[in-house]
Amino acid sequence: MTVAYQVWAPSGMPEVAKGDDLAVLIATAEPDLADGDVVLVTSKVVSKAEGRIVAADDREAAIDAETVRVVARRGTLRIVENRNGLVMAAAGVDASNTPAGTVLLLPEDPDASARSIRAGLRDLLGVDVGVVVTDTFGRPWRSGLTDVAIGAAGVRVLDDLRGGTDTYGNPLVATVVASADELAAAGDLVKGKAAGRPVAVVRGLPHLVTGGGADDLGARALVRGADGDMFRLGTSEAIREAVTQRRTVRAFTDDPVDPGAVRRAVAAAVTAPAPHHTTPWRFVLLESAASRTRLLDAMREAWITDLRRDGRSEEAIARRVRRGDVLRNAPYLVVPCLVTEGAHHYGDARRDTAEREMFVVAAGAGVQNFLVALAGERLGSAWVSSTMFCRDVVREVLDLPADWDPMGAVAIGRPAEPPKPRGERDPEDFLTVR
Same domain, 357 and 391: yes
Q: Is the dihedral of CA 68, 245, 254, 262 positive or negative?
A: positive
Q: What is the residue range of 19's domain?
A: 6-52+106-228
Q: Is residue 62 part of a domain?
A: no
Q: Is residue 88 part of a domain?
A: no
Same domain, 168 and 269: no
Same domain, 194 and 280: no
Same domain, 276 and 175: no
From first to last of its 434 residues, the chain has per-residue pLDDT tens of 578 999 999 998 999 999 999 999 999 999 999 999 999 999 999 999 999 988 877 788 888 889 988 888 877 788 899 988 899 988 888 887 787 788 899 999 999 999 999 999 999 999 999 999 999 998 888 899 999 999 999 999 998 776 676 777 777 666 788 999 999 999 999 996 656 799 999 999 999 999 766 668 899 999 988 878 877 777 666 666 667 767 788 889 999 999 999 999 999 999 999 999 999 999 999 999 999 999 999 988 888 888 888 888 888 888 777 776 778 889 999 999 999 999 999 989 999 999 999 999 999 999 999 998 898 888 999 999 989 999 999 999 999 999 999 999 999 999 998 877 777 888 899 999 99
Q: 29 with 199: CB under 8 angstroms?
A: yes
State pTM to two decimals: 0.66
Give me the CATH number covering residue 374.
Answer: 3.40.109.10
Q: Which of 202, 228, 254 is the last residue of a domain?
A: 228
Instruction: From residue 273, give the alpha-carbon distance in Å to each of 128, 188, 314, 369.
Output: 66, 52, 43, 10
Using alpha carbons, select from 366, 392, 383 the residue that is nearest to residue 330: 383
Same domain, 314 and 347: yes
| 400 burial level (CB within 10 Å; 0-12, 13-18, 19+) | middle
- 3-state class (DSSP) for residue 73: strand
Give me the CATH number covering residue 178.
Answer: 3.30.1330.100
Pairwise CA distance, residues 204 & 239, whole Å:
48
Q: Is residue 285 part of a domain?
A: yes
| Per-position DSSP letters for 7-34, written without gaps between them | EE--S-PPPP-TT--HHHHHHHH-TT--
Pairwise CA distance, residues 90 & 243, whole Å:
25
H-assigned helices in 310-348: 314-322, 325-328
CA angle 312, 313, 319 (to 5 degrees): 90
Q: Which of 171, 193, 228 is the last residue of a domain?
A: 228
Q: 249 with 325: CB under 8 angstroms?
A: no
> H or E stretch including 112?
helix 110-125
**Can you give the length of the chain in residues?**
434
- 3-state class (DSSP) for residue 349: helix
